Amino acid sequence: MKYLLLIFGSWRMGFSQAGCYSNQSDTYWKIGLAQFGSKKLSNCDVSAYYNCHGFVMAYFEDNCISPGWNNPFLPVYTCPNPKGIKSPASYQDSGKYVRVSNESDGDLIFYDLSVEGDHSAVKENIGGGQFRYISKYGSNGPLVAHRRDSSFYHLN
Contact residues for 112 (Cβ-Cβ < 8 A; gap 6+): 118
pLDDT, average across residues 10-33? 71
pLDDT score at 2: 41
* Alpha carbon distance 134, 122 (integer Å): 5
pLDDT score at 59: 82
pTM above 0.85, yes or no: no
| More confidently predicted of 139 and 66 | 139
* Alpha carbon distance 37, 140 (integer Å): 22
* Alpha carbon distance 93, 6 (integer Å): 38
Share of the chain above pLDDT 70, in %: 76
Q: pLDDT band at residue 96, thresholds of 50, 70 and 90? A: confident
Task: List residues bridging with 101 in a β-sheet.
Answer: none
